[in-house]
Amino acid sequence: MDELKDLERENEQLKKETVDLAKEAAVKSWGCLWSLALMVFSIALGGFVAMKLWNGLIVPTFGLATLSYWQAFGLDVFVSFLTAKIGNKNDGYENNQKAYVSIIATLLFWGIGSIAMMFI
């Protein structure tokens, strides 16, 4: 009789562990989707800011042609590849912290550029 109770307890414990593992897997998958969404947003924001700053600063200053979103997006990706760090990708940032830093830096760059546009 004691063996049966022990088996039932073990069965309940295994059920709880299985549920906990399923919850943990679900949280990790949402974290992966969130990271992907942050990356896509960061890249799209970079193209938008490049377009706004090019059309607001370079066009009036030097008289060059305006850029569409996709042209600015390509320019942003190209410059990002040129200036990317080569080597160890683990530079002390946590999972999404690098994306947050990228978004904040892009927004700050846009803000500084917008202030500069006021004087042109």
Closest to 51 measured CA to CA, from 28, 31, 77, 26: 77
In a domain, 71, yes or no: yes
pLDDT at residue number 9: 83
pLDDT tens digits for range 102-118: 899 999 999 999 999 99
Task: Indicate if the pLDDT at residue 92 is higher than 60.
Answer: no
pLDDT tens digits for range 11-29: 888 888 787 777 777 666 6
Rounded distance, CA 88 to CA 48, Å?
29
In a domain, 2, yes or no: no
Task: Indicate if the pLDDT at residue 93 is higher than 80.
Answer: no
In a domain, 72, yes or no: yes
Q: Kindly report the pTM of this predicted structure.
A: 0.70
pLDDT at residue number 72: 96
In a domain, 86, yes or no: yes
In a domain, 7, yes or no: no
In a domain, 5, yes or no: no
**Residue span of the structural domain in which 68 resides:** 34-117
If DSSP codes are grouped into helix, strand and coil, which group holds residue 100?
Answer: helix
pLDDT tens digits for range 31-86: 778 888 998 999 999 999 999 999 999 999 999 999 999 999 999 999 988 987 77
In a domain, 18, yes or no: no
pLDDT at residue number 89: 62
| Total structural domains within the chain | 1
